[in-house]
Structure 1
Amino acid sequence: MRNGHGLGRRFGWLWAAYGTSALGTWLAFGAFPLIAIQVLHAGPVEVAALSAVGAAVGAAVAVPLGPWVEFRRKRPVLIGTDLVRCAALLTIPAAFALGVLSFVQLLLVSVVVAAADITFRAASGAYLKTLVPAGDLLVANARFESTAWTTTIVGPPLGGALIGLLGPVATVVADAVSYLLSALGIRAIGGGEPRPERREAARMRIGDLLDGWRYILADATLRPLFFNAAVFNGLVMAADALLAVLMLGPLGFAPWQYGLAFAAPSIGGLLGSRLARPLVTRFGQHRVLVASGALRALWLVGLAFVGPGTGGLLLVMGLELGLIFCCGVFNPVCATYRLERTAPGRIARMLSAWTVTTKASTALLTAVWGVLGGLLGPRTAIGLAGVLLLATPLLLPRRAETSPTKPPADPPAEPPAEPPAEPPAGPPAGPEPAPSRA
C-alpha cells in the first residue's frame, strides 16, 4: 500500500524525519550566538569565529567521510549522524546546568554538528534512491524543498517565543530532540538496503579523498553548475551579512523588522517549489534550470539601494521574495539534475564534495566581504556582490544532456552500479540558502 502522498510509506517516514529536524533547525536559529553573547559575554570577534570557524573546520573534518559513506549502508549512517548531533547538542544544556559551559565547547559542538550535517547530506542523497521510483525524483525533491521553506516561515517565530520564555538554551534542547525524533523516523522506514560492494583496496588512500571533486570536474555539465553553486551561495550569504549591518545600524530598522524582511518572503520559496514540477513538465528540465538559475541572479543588486522607513522595508521584502521564489524553483530542479548526472556508486562522494565546497566558499566570501564592507561601506560592498552575481548565469549548463558523462579514468576502481530499479534521488542538498545547523 502506498501513502506519503503517493511516494510510499517508507518515503513518508523519511519526509517526516526531514521535516522534524528542519523545524528543530529553525527553532534554534541564532541560538549559538545568543548563548555566546548572553551567557558567555562573548564579543563580536568570538561570535564571528563561532559562525565561520565552526562551519569551515566542520567542512574540513567531513572531507574523508564522503568516500567512507559511499561503501556503507546509508540508513545506519543517517541514524548515526542524527544521534551524534543530538548527543553533541545535549552537552550544551548539561554544561549550562552545571555552570561549566565555555566558548570552546560551543565551538567544538558547532564543528561536530557541521561535519555530521555534511555526512548526513551525502548519505541521504544516495539512500533515497532506494525509496522512490525514477519518475518521482523531482516530486520528492520538491517536497523536501517545500518543507524546508515551510519550516523557515514557522520555526523562527516559535523559536523566538521559546527564547523569550525559557532562554536560548531551551531551543538547543528542542533542536537536539528533533534529531532524536529524526533518527527514530529513519529507523521506522524499515526494509532492506543493498550492501555496497567494497573497492579492491582495503584501506582508503589520500587520493581517494578527492574522488568527489574529480567526478564533478570531469563532467561537462556538473562542472559549471558546481562553480555556479559555490559563487552564488557565497555571494548571497556574504551580502546578507552586510545587509544585517546596514539595516540594523545606519538605517535604524528594529530587529523584528529585520526578521520580518526575511521570514515573510520565504512564502516565495514554498510557492516556487510547488511550481517546479509543472514548469518542468511544460518547458523541460534544462530550460527551467537555466531560466530560474539566471533569474535568481537579478535581485541582489537592488539591495544596495535600500533606504530607511517603510519603503526600504518593502523594497527588501520584494527583492527577497523574488530571489527566494526563483531559488524555490531552481533548487529541486538542480538537485534532480545533479543526481541524474551522477553514477549510483559516486553519489555520496559527489554530494560530500559539493557541500564541503559551498560551505568553504561561503565562509571565504563572507570573510572577504566583511573586509570590503569595512573599507567601502556595507552598501557599496552589497552592490559589488550583486553586480558579480549577475555573471553567475554564465556558469550554468548550456546544453541539455541525456546521459551522464564517462567517469574520469584516474580514480581507483568503483563498486558496480546498484540495481537499475533504484532511481537517483535525494533530499535537497544543493546551492541554496537553506536551513543550516548551528
Structure 2
Amino acid sequence: MRRQHGLGEDFRRLWAGYTVSAAGSAVGSGALPLIALLALHASTFQVSLLAGLSAVASAAIALPLGVRIEYRRKRPVMMSADVLRFAVLASVPAAAALGVLTYPQLCVVGVVQTAASVAFNAASGAHLKALVEPAGRIRANSAFETTNWVSSSAGPPLGGLLIGVLGTTATMAVDAMSFLGSVAGIHRIRRPEPTPPARTDPPHLWRDVTAGWRHLLARRGLRVLFVNSLLFGGPVMMASPLMAVLMLRNLGLAPWQYGLALGLPCLGGVLGSHLTPALTRRLGPRRTLLLSGAGRAPWLLLLPLTPAGALGVGAIVAIDFGLLFAAGVFNPSFSTYRMDATDDAFMSRVVTSWSISSRVVQALFMLAGGVIADLLGVRPALAIAGTLCLASAFLLPWRHRRSAAVPAPRAEPAAVAPRPETAAPD
C-alpha cells in the first residue's frame, strides 16, 4: 500500500478505518426510512418528515460546532463523532429487540447521526490536509472516492440481503459497528497532530457561525465551485426519488431490474476515481477539474427520454454510468482544490458551511421535485432537474487561473514523508 500510493503508513491506517466505516454505512444506507415503514408502519408524511428533520435540525446543531472544531485537535473530534454515531445507531436494534422502538427515537437518531457526520467531515478535511503532503492530496482524495464508490456498489445489495435474512434492524447494527472500525483506524495513527490554530479574536456567535461562508465567498474560485456544487447536487438529489417512480411505475421494471440499474453505474464512479491521478498528471489539475465538472452536467437530461423494457434498463445504466464516471473524476479533484484553496485556519468551518448548505439545498430540491412531479408528471420534473444540472456547467471557475490552487501530483516512489478525508463532496 505504501509503495503503491507513497502516502505513508498513517494514511493507510486512516484509509483502512474509513473503508470499514464506509462499507458499513453503505450496507445500512436507507435503513432509517425502511425501519420506519416496515417496523413502525409510518405514513408517507412521517417518512418524509424523518428525512427533512434530520437535514434541518442537524444543520442547526452542527453549525456552531464548526468554529469549536477549528480550534481543537481533529482526531479526538473524529473519534468522538464515530463513537456517538455508533451509540445512536446501535440504540435502534437494541430498542427493537426490547420492543420499545418508537418513531420519535428514529427522529432523534437521524438528527444526531447527521450532525455527527457533519462534525466528522469538518474535522477530517482539516486533518487530511495536515496529514498528506500537497503533492499527494489528489491521490489521497482519489483513494477515498474509490472507497465510496465501491461501497456504494456492493453495500446496498448486501444490506437488502441482510434485511431479507435477519430483519429490518440488522443493517443498522452493521452500520453502527463499522464506526468502531473507523475509531480503531484513527487511533492507530502515530504522527502527532500539528497544533491547532490559536484563536486571536473574542468569541462572537454570528461572526463565528458565518466565518466559513464568508471565507469561501470571498475567494472567487471557491465561490464559483460552491454555487456549482449546490446547483448540481440539488437537482441530482431531486431526481433520485423520481427515478424510483419512473423505473418501477412508469417503465414497469421489475425490482431486480431497478436494483441492477442502481448498482451497476456505481462502477463508473469507481473507474473515474481510480483514473483521477493519472488524468491529473496528463491533463493538469485545472483542466481535469473543469472537464469532469462539465462532463457530469448533461446526463440527467437524457433520463426523461428512456423507453420501457430492457432497452430502458440499458439506457438508464449507460446514462448513470456516464454521470458517475465524470463525478468520480470531479469529486477528488474538487476536494483537493478546496483543500488547497482554503486557509488552514478556516478549513473545518468551510467544510461545515459547505456541508450544511448542501444538505439543506438538497432537501429543498427533493421537496420541490415531489411537488413538480405531482403537478406536471415525473418525466417533466426530470427534464427540469436535467436542465438545472446542465446549467451548473457554466458555474465552474472557467476564468479563474490560480495555478497554485491544485498542485499536480509528483510521480515519486515511496519518498513522500509519512507525515494528514474527504468523501464524495457534500
Deviation at 1:171, TM superposition (A): 0.7
List per-residue Cα deviations over 1:216-262 (Å, max 9, x = no partner): 11001000100000110010110121111121122221222112101
CA contact (8 A) 1:17 1:182 kept: yes
Q: Distance in 2 between matches of 1:181 and 1:363?
A: 30
Structure-to-structure mapping, 1:81-96, within 5 angstroms? 81-96=81-96
The answer to whether residue 296 in structure 2 is matched with residue 301 in structure 1 is no
Q: Which segment is superposed worse, 131-140 or 110-119? A: 131-140
Q: Distance in 2 between matches of 1:320 and 1:386?
A: 12
CA contact (8 A) 1:130 1:422 kept: no
2:56 aligns with 56
Find runs of 4+ consecutive structure 1 residues off by over 3 angstroms: 1-5, 200-204
1:401 aligns with 402
1:200 aligns with 200
The answer to whether residue 157 in structure 2 is matched with residue 165 in structure 1 is no
List per-residue Cα deviations over 1:59-101 (Å, max 9, x = no partner): 2211111111000000000000000000011111121112111
Q: Which segment is superposed worse, 387-396 or 221-230? A: 387-396
Q: Distance in 1 between matches of 2:290 and 2:364?
A: 26
Pair 3,193 (structure 1): closer, same or farther in 2 beyond 3 Å: farther
Deviation at 1:191, TM superposition (A): 2.9
1:418 aligns with none
Aligned pairs, how many?
414
Kindly provide the amino acid, as one letter, of the partner of residue 245 in structure 1: V
The answer to whether residue 262 in structure 2 is matched with residue 262 in structure 1 is yes
Give aligned-pair identity as a percent.
Answer: 45
Q: Distance in 2 between matches of 1:204 and 1:127?
A: 25
CA contact (8 A) 1:28 1:168 kept: no
Deviation at 1:270, TM superposition (A): 0.7
Deviation at 1:6, TM superposition (A): 2.4
Deviation at 1:206, TM superposition (A): 2.3
Q: Distance in 1 between matches of 2:47 and 2:205?
A: 37
Q: Distance in 2 between matches of 1:2 and 1:99?
A: 48
Q: Distance in 2 between matches of 1:193 and 1:29?
A: 32
Pair 170,426 (structure 1): closer, same or farther in 2 beyond 3 Å: closer
Structure-to-structure mapping, 1:26-425, within 5 angstroms? 26-398=26-398, 399-403=400-404
Q: Distance in 2 between matches of 1:163 and 1:54?
A: 23
Deviation at 1:161, TM superposition (A): 1.1
Deviation at 1:117, TM superposition (A): 0.6
Kindly provide the amino acid, as one letter, of the partner of residue 23 in structure 1: A
Q: Distance in 2 between matches of 1:356 and 1:429?
A: 14
Kindly provide the amino acid, as one letter, of the partner of residue 284 in structure 2: G
Q: Distance in 2 between matches of 1:91 and 1:306?
A: 42
Q: Which segment is superposed worse, 243-252 or 15-24? A: 243-252
Q: Distance in 2 between matches of 1:427 and 1:206?
A: 27
Structure 1 stretches of 5 or more lacking a match?
405-420, 432-438
CA contact (8 A) 1:126 1:348 kept: yes
Q: Which segment is superposed worse, 83-92 or 45-54? A: 45-54
2:423 aligns with 428
CA contact (8 A) 1:86 1:177 kept: yes
Q: Distance in 2 between matches of 1:2 and 1:238?
A: 40
Give 3-state SS (helix, strand or coil) of 1:390's partner: helix
Q: Distance in 2 between matches of 1:24 and 1:426?
A: 17
CA contact (8 A) 2:5 2:139 kept: no
What is the root-mean-square deviation of aligned Cα atoms in Å?
Answer: 1.7
List per-residue Cα deviations over 1:302-351 (Å, max 9, x = no partner): 00112221011111001000000000110111111111101111110111
Give 3-state SS (helix, strand or coil) of 2:146's partner: helix
CA contact (8 A) 1:73 1:196 kept: yes
Deviation at 1:54, TM superposition (A): 1.1
Q: Which segment is superposed worse, 321-330 or 41-50? A: 41-50
CA contact (8 A) 1:24 1:175 kept: yes
Give the TM-score of the pair, scaled to structure 2. Answer: 0.94
Deviation at 1:57, TM superposition (A): 1.6
Deviation at 1:110, TM superposition (A): 0.4
Q: Which segment is superposed worse, 257-266 or 313-322? A: 257-266
Give the TM-score of the pair, scaled to structure 1. Answer: 0.91
